Amino acid sequence: MASVLTLMIIVTLSILTTRVATLALIHTGLSGQVAKFQARSALTGVGFATRESEKVVTHPVRRRIIMVLMLLGNVGIISVLASLVLTFLDEQASTLEWTYRLAALTVGLGLLWWVSSSAIVDQWLSRWVNHLLKKYTEIDVKDFSGLLHLSNGYKISEMMVEKDHWMTGKTLTELKLRQEGLNLLGIEKNNGNYIGLPHGDMTISDGDLLILYGKDEALSSLNKRRRGMAGRREHRKAIAEQQKREKEDEIAARGVVEDTKDATTEDVR
């Protein structure tokens, strides 16, 4: 069982290292999805050559984080393989002991998987990483999730525009993304130029990378939308759904205000 325990400790440290590195990369300005992908790629030594990778290697702080992950990843993978060999190649182990080892490994990995996807753990780690980064580094730490209120379904997403996409060839004024509840924060044009807070006359082209802020379902719907009548129908439907959400939010806010007034009146009495 000692080899199983060793394996669980190594996997736990690997997951913890990846989560901490992901949060550190997010605090340097990377989106959550990109930060997680780059952290896992560096730890496992995969090293995908993507456009996001260029954002990492050209940034001194991100580059240092990735270099540490690469070093730890090489040590961790070797340790995991050695522990697996010790766990399953013990010729003297009985059938019952084999069963205990497999059960412990299954339960342990399941528990680690749950912890690795826990929002509570994410919040705790985020506060811890913030404290360490402020104390021991010169990184300009900002809680981008908190600043942009990335909760209740809101998120930031990167979207690559394809040739047959509904947005291709249209200006931002024509797209009316705000009416769908979406905000375009920036565009990385297909020639490499970045434009922050683009104006309404900006035309979306094939190969542009958009940074969008809005509800998860609205972002997902936009990402799947294609040219033609179907795309126009989906656009009108998205606007109608956003108008409905705005009315519901207005009614809910009005109800909160009325409840507050009633409570205040009761206190006065």
Residue 268 counted as domain residue = no
Place of tokens 């990483």: 129
- Domain co-membership, 9 together with 131: yes
**Structure tokens, 233:** 């129908």
- Domain co-membership, 173 together with 231: yes
Residue 35 counted as domain residue = yes
- For residue 227, give the DSSP letter: S
- Using CB atoms within 10 Å of the CB of residue 28, give its burial: 0 to 12 exposed, 13 to 18 middle, 19+ buried: buried
pLDDT digits (tens, 9 = 90+) for 95-140: 666 676 677 767 766 776 676 666 677 667 667 766 776 676 665 5
Q: Look at the chain and report how many structural domains it folds into.
A: 2
Nearest to 152 by CA among 184, 119, 124: 119
The C-alpha atoms of residue 40 and residue 19 are separated, in whole angstroms, by: 9
pTM greater than 0.75: no
Mean pLDDT in residue range 199-212: 93
Residue 243: domain span? 154-256
Nearest to 194 by CA among 60, 58, 63, 61: 58
Q: What are the residues whose beta carbons fall under 8 Å from the beta carbon of 178, sequence distance 6 or more?
A: none
Q: Phi and psi dihedrals of 157, rounded to 5?
A: -140, 145
Residue 222 predicted with pLDDT over 90: yes
pLDDT digits (tens, 9 = 90+) for 133-172: 667 666 555 555 555 656 677 888 888 899 999 999 999 9
**Structure tokens, 254:** 């009005």
Listed range (9-13, 79-83, 202-206, 230-234) with the worst mean pLDDT: 79-83
- Domain co-membership, 113 together with 180: no
The C-alpha atoms of residue 215 and residue 177 are separated, in whole angstroms, by: 12
- For residue 204, give the DSSP letter: P
pLDDT of residue 96: 67
- Domain co-membership, 128 together with 92: yes
Residue type at 219 in one-letter notation: L
Which of 264 and 61 is assigned the larger pLDDT?
A: 61
Instruction: State which of 136, 163, 179 marks the end of a domain.
Output: 136
Going by pLDDT thresholds of 50, 70 and 90, the confidence category of residue 88 is: low
pLDDT of residue 87: 56
The C-alpha atoms of residue 69 and residue 227 are separated, in whole angstroms, by: 42
- Domain co-membership, 216 together with 98: no
Residue 21 predicted with pLDDT over 60: yes
Residue 236 predicted with pLDDT over 90: yes
- Domain co-membership, 61 together with 164: no
